Structure 1
Amino acid sequence: MTPRTLMSRRAWGQHVLAGAAAAGLPGWAAPALAAAASPVPEVSRILVGFGAGGAIDVLARLLADRIAPQLGPSHRIVVDNRAGANGQIAAHALLSAPADGSTYLITPLITPVLSQLVFQKPGYDPAVDFVPVGLIAHFQFALAVPASHPARSLGEFIGWRKAHPAQANFGSPAAGSLPHFFGLLLGRAAGVDLVHVPYKGAPGLFTDLVGGRLSSAVETTSGLLPLHREGKVRILATFTERRTPETPDVPSIVEAGYPQAKGSGWFSLWARKGTPPAAVEAVNRALNSALADPALRTRLAELALEPDPRSPQQLEQLRLADLARWRPVIEASGFKAD
């Protein structure tokens, strides 16, 4: 057998590239070997903690198609749905995956931020067990009331709440979700007590909001927007600094007078601690390049997502900032998921 048949493809690529460099040969002399020497395995996967067809699943598949070719001509990324427990099943799958650069987790900030605040025993510590790869995109939230509600603005809603304390509540799609805590944050900023009514998903929440069985609800702007446009609910404010392109007729929370409550959700990519830094850097470069593509940015805008490519270090800074931001809100609520 020849030496080449005894070596793995990657080892052979590294061997020949090293020899070429030593001999002073140009890099184009063996282009196929560059892919073989990639720090990311040819077949890798992105874990998704939610079911197929949702926004984060669609996002994962869009990114997989665009990142894979940048990692090598034969590279392939598989999207692996591990739905359940508000993303915790996928987080634990990452924790048990090999730290060889083959496995990544796409997640909203429930895993890197909220899990440490709402679960008594999440089973992992993002600061210890995971490493940041890159920020992907932000998504926004809004407060809406039924179309029959007398309040036409957020100020009027707060005034109505003070006059009708027994009726003042807000629904969210899940206890311990970001909409839950945005509602509490607004109540804290406005100096009123908004009673939380949790649901098991958005469908039941929307049914009761439209039917007037809830006085208000907090959910993603993209989820509420169709009902707002149909005149079934009225979005009073988005939890943003400025009005959004999707809702130019709706004031931002800052414009409405409650800048303390502004914020957003975000999707990001993570790897297991111990993943080779070269693999993390390669995936971050490929991710940021994909997010700069005009066609992808247009597609993400259709999903009400705002791309925000950053370095792994900047993602970690964002995680720490949101951890400090949400900790007092959640601790004051006394909420625990288990």
Structure 2
Amino acid sequence: MTETTDAISRRNLLVLAGAGVCGVTPSLSMAQTEPYPSRPIILVIPFAAGGTTDIIGRVIADALSKRLGQPVVVDNKGGAGGNIGAAVVASAKPDGYSLLMGYNGTNAINPSLYPKLSWDPVKSFEPLSMVARVNNVVVVNPSLPVKTLPELVAYAKAHPGVLNYGSAGAGTIFHLAAEMLEQQTGAQLTHVPYKGAAPALVDLIGGQIQLMFSTIPTALPHIKAGKIRAIGVTGAKRSPLFPDLPTATESGYSSMVVDSWFGLFAPKGLPQDLQTRIGNAVRDAIADPTTQQKLLEQGATPHSSSSAELAQTLGSDLVTWRSIVAKAKVTLE
């Protein structure tokens, strides 16, 4: 006897109902087997477009898109020294579709500066991999009669409080690098905070301030044009772009190592298989000569890592900068 259409429909409904009782629905089953990634991934850059974090982030986003098979879309969410963008990712679903381009200024320094953060640098994120390190450079107005870091320190000691240094803002790594120099040498400098590195560089070129700490990518065009003079770098190694410039350590300041690192983070709770998948894609991207060349052209040193290494670097920096911030007595709201 042939089943009627109504009988077939009733039977199908019973099958679906039974599946629901067992805790499995067709939509959930499909979601569980959906391959990752099946849609665009958002990479949050916690700063405005055009800065070093943004430049590096876009290089990484492009390289990851090719390796993950889905667009990695950059979303600039600047503000509060990177805190706004970090908060967005910290509260996102840990499904691999929201990532953060972390930076030691935001992830390692801000927790000591801002007592009321809505996110925790360790508890809110899964570290995936480092992507690059960027050497910082000390630059001065050409009218200042110093050509080395020791000469700058000597001049500052002979003229306490006279030299004005600019920064991209109170509490930024560039402000605290100068605070570190003062703490280690006894030199007295006067801080002039700006809303970003660009206006500080304009005033440095114009002579309204006499020096500043900067990332190499930001200062590079002005150094090449002879508008400002580079007198030293503060990374662990000399910069390939300025091989003749000694590091602060080589200049006699043994614990003066301040560079900027950048790494990829995901919301806490991202499944281990996705952590591995994304981390491997990052490491593969950084090993690619094309990606390396793009980063090197911006003054960044390609540097991938394991998740454990990134976590260790973050932990060490949290301790270091907590001490510097406490001695400088800097607190931001």
Q: Which amino acid aligns with 2:97?
A: S
Distance 1:53 1:218, change over 3 A: closer
> Does the residue aligned with 2:330 lie in a helix, a strand or coil?
coil
1:111 paired residue number:
106
Aligned with 2:204 (options 206, 209, 220): 209
Aligned with 2:265 (options 266, 270, 273): 270
Q: Is 1:54 aligned to residue 55 of structure 2? A: no
In the alignment, structure 2 segments of 5+ residues that lack a partner are: 1-11, 17-24
> Does the residue aligned with 1:282 lie in a helix, a strand or coil?
helix
> Does the residue aligned with 2:255 lie in a helix, a strand or coil?
helix
Q: Is 1:143 aligned to residue 138 of structure 2? A: yes
2:120 paired residue number:
125
Q: TM-score if structure 2 supplies the norm length?
A: 0.87
Q: Distance in 2 between matches of 1:12 and 1:231?
A: 58
Q: Deviations over 1:153-193 (max 9, x none)?
A: 22221111111113133211111100111111112222222
Moved over 6 A (4+): none
2:226 paired residue number:
231
2:5 paired residue number:
none
Q: CA RMSD in A?
A: 2.3
Aligned with 1:169 (options 164, 167, 171): 164
Q: Distance in 2 between matches of 1:184 and 1:12?
A: 52
Q: Distance in 2 between matches of 1:131 and 1:148?
A: 47
- Contact residue 241 and residue 255 of structure 1 kept, 8 A: no
Q: Is 1:221 aligned to residue 221 of structure 2? A: no
1:291 paired residue number:
286
- Contact residue 241 and residue 259 of structure 1 kept, 8 A: no
> Does the residue aligned with 1:261 lie in a helix, a strand or coil?
coil
Correspondence 1:244-255 to 2 at 5 A: 244-255=239-250
> Does the residue aligned with 1:90 lie in a helix, a strand or coil?
helix
Q: Which amino acid aligns with 1:79?
A: V
In the alignment, structure 1 segments of 5+ residues that lack a partner are: 15-35
Aligned with 2:313 (options 314, 318, 323): 318
- Contact residue 167 and residue 200 of structure 2 kept, 8 A: yes
- Contact residue 242 and residue 255 of structure 1 kept, 8 A: no
State the 1:220 CA deviation: 1.2
Distance 1:237 1:11, change over 3 A: same
Q: Which amino acid aligns with 1:58?
A: I
Question: Which stretch shows the higher mean deviation, 51-60 or 228-237?
Answer: 51-60
State the 1:226 CA deviation: 2.3
Q: How many residue pairs align between the two structures?
A: 312
1:43 paired residue number:
40
Q: Is 1:329 aligned to residue 324 of structure 2? A: yes
Larger of the two Rg values belongs to structure: 2
Identity of aligned residues (%): 31
Aligned with 1:82 (options 77, 81, 86): 77
